[in-house]
Structure 1
Amino acid sequence: MHRPRRLPLLLILLGLLPAVARALLPPPRFPGPHARPRPRAGTGDGVGGGYEFETRYFRQRLDHFSFSGEEEFFQQRYLVGRAGAGGWAGPGGPIFFYCGNEGDIAWFAANSGLVWDAAPRFAALVVFAEHRYYGESMPFGSKDKAYNNSRSMAYLTAEQALADYAVLLTDLKRNLSSESSPVVLFGGSYGGMLAAWMRLKYPHIAVGALASSAPILQFEDIVPDTIFYDLVSNDFKRESLSCFQTIKDSWKELDEQGNGQDGLLKLSKTFHLCQTLNTTGALSDWLSSAYSYLAMVDYPMPSEFLMPLPANPIKEVSS
C-alpha cells in the first residue's frame, strides 16, 4: 500500500518554527575587554528580571597543578549580586555560588532566576563565577591567544575550572571575613556537572549542590547513547503522538524528496536556505537541532533563555 506523503503536513508544522531557527545561533554575548590590568570592581549592571550585580575580577592561576615554579595568571570575572530586600546576612551567612559553564557569565546570570529568587529567603549572597576561556575570562589576554593552539588550550579542563572556583571561593570568604559561611553550589547542564563534581572533590568548601539538567552519568557504558534523543522524543510524544509520528516519518520523506538535484533545489527553496543543499544531511541536522532546542527550553512559562518563546513551546508547535 502506498504510504501517504507527509511532507506537506511537516511543512505546515515547520511554519510554526521560523523563530526556532535563531535558537541554533550562538547564545547572546555581552562583549567587553578581555584583558584587565588588575582586579577591580565594576559598576552594577542591570540584568533581566530586575537582578543586579557588581562585576569583579580575580587574579587566577593558569595552572593549579604545576610544580615548575613558573606561575602564570589571568583575570577571572565573577559577579556579586547586589543586596535586595533584606540583603545578605553578613559574615557567616550563606553563599549561593553559580558554577559558570561554556558561555558569558552575564548571560547565565540573566537566566538563572531560581538562584536570585531563593537568595532573599535565605539572606544569601549570590555569586556567579565565569568559566575560564569564556566571556571575559581569557587566559593570555585575548580569545585569539587563548584559542591559538593546543598548548594555549591545554588548560581548558574541568579539573582546572573546579580548582578556579575553589580558590576563588576561599579567597572571597576570607576577604568577607566569612570563612564559616556555608556555600551551596548551583549549575545547569555542564555547569551542573561542575557543581556536583565540586561538591564531591571539595566537600570542605561546599555543603551542597543543585545540578540542573546535568548529564553527570552520561558516559559510555553507563547509560544508552541514545538517551538524549529518547528524552526529546518523549517530550513530543507527551504533547502529540501525531506530531511525533509526523516528525519521525519526515526523515525518510526528506531523503526521498532530496533524491536528485531537482529535489534538493526544491527543498532549498521551501526552507528559504541561503545556499542550495548538496545533501539532505545538513537540513536534517538543522531540524534535529531545532527540535532538541525546543525540548531543552520547554518551560511552563514564557522564556528568553535562548530566544523569545511562549510557555510550553512544544505544545505550541504541536497544536
Structure 2
Amino acid sequence: MYARFIYILLICILAVEGFSSHHRIVTVGSSSKNRKSERKYRRGLIPGAGQDLSDRYFTQKVNHDDPNSRTFSQRYWVNDMFSGGPNSPIFLYVGGEVTLDYTSVTNTEWVRQAEKNNGTVVSLEHRYFGSSQPNSDLSDLTYLTVNQAMNDATDFIKWFKSSTNSPSSPVITVGSSYGANLASWLRIKYASTFTASIASSAPVQLVKDFSNYYVQVSTSINSMTGSTTCTANIRQAMTSLEALMNVDSNSDTITSKFGLCYTLDSTSLEKGVLVANLNEIWSSAVQYNYASKITDYCGVMGRSQYSGVDNLAEVNRREMSSDQRSCLNSAYDSLISFYRNIVIDPNSYVGYRQYFYLQCSQIGLFITTGSTSQPFGTLAPVSLYNAQCRDVFNSVSPDASIASFNSIFGGNNPLSVGASNILYSNGALDPWRAQSITVSLSGSLLAYSIDGYGHSADLYPATDGGSIQVQQTAMERTITQFIKAGASTTKATGAPSTTSSTTSKAATTSSTTSRVASTSSTTSKAASTSAAASTSAPSASTGVKASFCPDTLYVCGGACYSDTQYCCINGGLVQISFCPSASPSPSTQKTTSTVSTVSPTTRATTSSTTSSSTTSSSSSSTKNPSTTSSSTTSSSKSTSSVSPTTSSTTTSLSPAISTVSALQPATCSTNACGASKCCPDDRTKQNTCYSPNAYQCLLDDYNAKTYLCGLGTSSCNGQCYQNNIYYCKNGVISQK
C-alpha cells in the first residue's frame, strides 16, 4: 500500500521481471516493445530432469574483519546442467537489493552463456535480503556494507571452487543495477579471483545528488515521442503545481485533485514526497520502456482544453487505477514509519529499509530535482533525502563512502585504476546510464548500448534478432575469449591461492615493488629469471615465411615480424634483446637494409600475450611483467597456456576489435594483407598485417593510441600486458 510514496527505492529496483511479479513497476505495461520481448525472456532455459534447484546455504561470516565473527546462513542456488566438469567456467550472479529464487540460475541470459561455455551458473543472495539474514530483525544494519557483501562473494566462490574440485575454474561475475556495481567492483578489487564481469545497468559513478537521472528521463521521453512537446507540457504543469503548493490555502484543492490519502501538509518535506511520487509515474515508464504508457500519458498532457495541473492530475488518476489503489499516500510521516519497520517480511521482494540504509550510509544515488535541465519541478532536492536519512537512521551520511568508492574503483573511469575484462551494458533509454560506462575505454573495458530499451533489458535470452540479441551475441564472444585467456593463465601460473585476495596482495607487496621499481633492473631480472626457470635455454626458431607477410618479414604465431627486432620462440614473439644469442634469427643484415622501405605492411614490433613479447620496441621500456612468464621456457605446452596465439585459444574476432577499429585512422589498406587483417600500429608508425585468430588491434589504456597485441591482453603506453594479472595506471604496468 505504500508503493507510490517509496519512490526513491522503487526506481532503484533491479529489473528482474522473470524472478518475481510482486513489484508494481516491473509488472505494469503490457503493450510496450520491452514487455513483448519479455515473454521470450521468461521462458529461459529450463533445467533437465534431476537438477537440484533447491535453496542451499553457505555458512558466512557476519563480520569479515573479525576472525572470530559469528556466522549466518547465506542462501544460494546452483545450476550445473551445462557444466563440463571440474575447472569449468562459473557464472556467479551477484544478488542486489531483492529476494532471489531458483530462477536466478534458470531464466537468465548468463544461463545461455554458461551453456555456450560448458559452465555452471551460481547465484548468491545479498546479505540482509531475502532469507540471507544475519539477525532476527532489521534493527541493526551495522554489517550491511558494500565491502562486507564483496567479501561474502569472494569467500563463497573460493569455498565453492574448492568443494567442487575446481581450483582453476574461471569465474565471471554478473549483476544488474546495484548488483552490477558489485559484480564489476569484484573484478577490479579481486582480479585474481574473478576472471571477468558483466555489469548490466551499473551506476558505477556514485553521487549523492543524482539529478542527472531526471535529465535522462526527459531525454528519453523526447526520444520515445519524437518531440519535446510532452516534456515541455510536463515542465509547465509542474511549475504551476509547485506555485499552487506554495500557497497553504490550496492544500485541500491539491489533496482532492490528486487523490491523496491525507491532507497535504504545508511542510516542504511533504510537498517533496508528492513531487517525487508524481515524477515516478514518468521515470518508471521510461526506465522499463513502457512505451504505450508514455504515449497515453503524453497525450493527456497535450489536452488544450484543460490546465496543465488538471492534465497531470488525470495522469495520476490513470496510474492509480492501473495500480488498483484508491488514493496516493504522500504523507512524509508514513514514509518514515515505513522505513523504520524492522520486521523481516519473508514475502517481500524488495528490501526497502535495507537498500535505503545502503543509500543513506554508503552509495547515495538519491534521485533529485536538483538540475534545471529537467522538467519535473524543484521540490525534491537532495535535502529531502538528507532529512529522510536523518529521520530514519539518525546521523548517517554517504559522502565519505562515495568519495572512497569512486577513488578505489575509478567511478566512470575504471581504466584509471587498472580495471579490465568488464562488459558494461545499458539500455539507450535507461536513466541510470547517466552514471554508468557508456563508451568503451579499452579493448577489455567495453560498453554496449541497447537501442530502444530501458533498465537491464539484456538479462533474459532474446531470440527475435533485435538489438538485445545482437548485443548478447557480441558480449558472448568476448566473454568466451576472457574465459579462454583466464583458463590459459590459470594453467600456466597454477590455481590461485584459497587465501583472501587482500592477504595475498599484502604478502606480495614487497616483491611486486622490487620488480617494478627499476626499469633497467626489472628487464634484466625478468630475462634472467625466465632463462633460469627453463631446464635448458630456449631456442629461437628459424624464420618462417607466409603469403600474407612481405618478402622481408617472417611469421610467428600469426603475426609478421622483422628479425632485426624479434625472434620467434614457441610461437611467440620475443624482443631481440631477450633472444638466445646462440640461435640468432636468419638474414639479420639483409633484412636490416630493407625493412625501412617495406610497404605499409611492415611488422616491426608485433606483440602478443606470450610473456616476453609484451615488451615495447624500446629496450629501455621495460616495466613489462610478462617477461617472467613461460614464453621464454622450452615447454611449448606451458607457453601455449598463456598465449592466445595457439590453436586452443583461437576464437572469432572480439567485438572489442570492431569497437576500436572505428576509432582508428583510415590509413590501413586490408588489400595488402590478403586474408589477414591490417592494423595501423602507432608503435611503428606503420601498418601491420596480423592474424585475428591470435592478435587484436586495440586502443592503448593510457595514451589512446593504436597497438597490435595478442588476444586477451591490453596495451599500456605501448606495452602489451596480461590484464588478468596486471593493470595499467598512469602509463605504468603493475601487478594486481
Q: Distance in 1 between matches of 2:262 and 2:154?
A: 48
Verify: 1:128 aligned to 2:123, yes or no: yes
CA contact (8 A) 1:193 1:215 kept: yes
Of the three residues 275, 284, 290, the one matched with 1:284 is 275
Paired letter, 2:70: E
What SS class does the counterpart of residue 123 from structure 2 fall into? Answer: strand
SS in 2 for 1:57: strand
**Alpha carbons of structure 1 residues 22 and 105: separation in structure 2 relative to 1, 3 Å:** farther
CA distance in 2, matches of 1:296, 1:107: 25
Residue 109 of structure 1: how far off its partner (Å): 2.4
Question: Are the equivalent residues in 2 in contact too, given 1:268–1:275 (CA < 8 A)?
Answer: yes
Q: Which moved more, 1:116-125 or 1:153-162?
A: 116-125
1:151-206, Cα deviation, whole Å (9 max, x unpaired): xx221111111110011111111111112111111111111111111001111111
Q: Distance in 1 between matches of 2:165 and 2:212?
A: 45
**8 Å contact from structure 1 (residues 100, 131) kept in 2:** yes
Give the direction of change, closer, same or farther, for the CA distance of 1:108–1:262 in structure 2 (3 Å limit).
Answer: farther
How many angstroms apart in 1 are the aligned matches of 2:129 and 2:106? 17
1: distance between equivalents of 2:103 and 2:56? 16
Corresponding residue for 2:159? 171
**Structure 2 CA distance, aligned partners of 1:192 and 1:91?**
27
Alignment equivalent of 1:49, drawn from 43, 49, 65:
43
Secondary structure of the residue aligned to 1:97 is strand
Whole-Å separation in 1 of the counterparts to 2:105 and 2:251 = 41
1:19-58 C-alpha deviation (Å, 9 max, x unpaired): x95995867699xxxxxxxxxxxxxxxx953556332100
Report the CA distance shift for 1:128/1:139 in structure 2 as closer, same or farther (over 3 A). same
Q: CA deviation at 1:318?
A: 3.5
1:318 aligns with 2:279: no
Pairing of 1:1-319 with structure 2 (within 5 A): 21=4, 24=7, 49=43, 53-67=53-67, 70-81=68-79, 83=81, 87-106=82-101, 109=104, 113-140=108-135, 142=136, 144=137, 147-149=138-140, 153-219=141-207, 225-240=210-225, 241-260=228-247, 263-279=250-266, 280-298=271-289, 310=290, 313-315=293-295, 317-318=297-298
Q: TM-score, normalised by structure 1?
A: 0.71
- Offset of residue 315 of structure 1: 4.7
Shift of 1:316: 5.3
Q: Residues 96 and 115 of structure 1 are in contact (CA less than 8 Å); yes or no, is this contact kept in structure 2?
A: yes
Alignment check: 8 A CA contact 2:42 2:107 kept = no
Q: Taking structure 2 as the reference length, what is the TM-score of the superposition?
A: 0.32
Which amino acid in the other structure matches residue 116 of structure 1? V
CA distance change for structure 1 residues 110 and 251 in 2, over 3 Å: closer, same or farther? farther
Structure 2 spans left out of the alignment, 5+ residues: 14-19, 23-40, 48-52, 300-736
Instruction: Tell which deviates more after alignment, 256-265 or 189-198.
Output: 256-265
Q: Is the 8 A contact 2:128 2:144 kept in 1?
A: yes
Q: Could you tell me whether the CA contact under 8 Å between 1:29 and 1:107 is conserved in 2?
A: no
Q: Is the 8 A contact 2:222 2:230 kept in 1?
A: yes
Q: Which amino acid aligns with 2:125?
A: E
Q: How many Å apart are 1:81 and its aligned residue?
A: 2.6
SS of 1:139's partner is coil
> Residues 261 and 215 from structure 1, CA distance in 2 versus in 1: closer, same or farther, beyond 3 angstroms?
same
Counterpart amino acid of residue 194 in structure 1: L
Structure 1's 118 and 228: CA in aligned 2 closer, same or farther, altered over 3 A? Answer: same
Q: Give the partner amino acid of 1:64.
A: H
* Aligned-partner Cα distance in 1 for 2:158–2:215: 41
- C-alpha change, 1:117 and 1:266, in structure 2 (3 Å) is farther
Assess, with a 3 A threshold, how the Cα gap between structure 1 residues 290 and 54 changes in structure 2: closer, same or farther.
same
2-side partners of 1:242 and 1:268: how far apart?
Answer: 27
Structure-2 residue corresponding to 1:33: none
Counterparts of 1:290 and 1:253, CA distance in 2: 18
Give secondary structure in 2 for the equivalent of 1:54.
Answer: coil
**1:119-153: per-residue Cα shift (whole Å, max 9, x none)?**
3222321111111111111113x2x1xx224xxx2
Q: For residue 143 of structure 2, what is the amino acid of its counterpart?
A: Y
Q: Against the structure 1 CA distance between its residues 233 and 55, is the aligned structure 2 distance closer, same or farther, given a 3 Å change threshold?
A: same
Contact 1:80 1:125 in 2 (8 A): yes
Shift of the 135–244 alpha-carbon distance from structure 1 to 2, 3 Å rule, reads: same
Q: Go from structure 1 to structure 2 and tell me whether the alpha carbon gap of 1:176 and 1:207 turns closer, same or farther (over 3 Å shift).
A: same
CA RMSD, Structure 1 to Structure 2 (Å): 3.1
For the residues of structure 2 that align with 1:251 and 1:127, how far apart are their CA atoms?
Answer: 46
Structure possessing the higher relative contact order (Cα contacts under 8 Å, 6 or more residues apart): 1
Alpha-carbon distance change, 97 to 122 in structure 1, aligned in 2, over 3 angstroms: same
Looking at CA atoms only, which structure, 1 or 2, has the larger radius of gyration? 2
Aligned length: 258
How far apart are the structure 2 equivalents of 1:195 and 1:71? 25
**Distance (Å, rounded) in 2 between the aligned partners of 1:248 and 1:108:** 41
Q: 1:48–1:110: 8 Å Cα contact kept in structure 2?
A: no
AA aligned to 1:177 is: N
Amino acid at match of 2:43: G
CA contact 2:5–2:274 (8 Å) conserved in 1: no
1:53-107 deviations in whole A, cap 9, x for unaligned?
Answer: 332100001111125xx32000000121362xxx222222211111111121229
Q: Which residue type is aligned with residue 212 of structure 2?
A: I
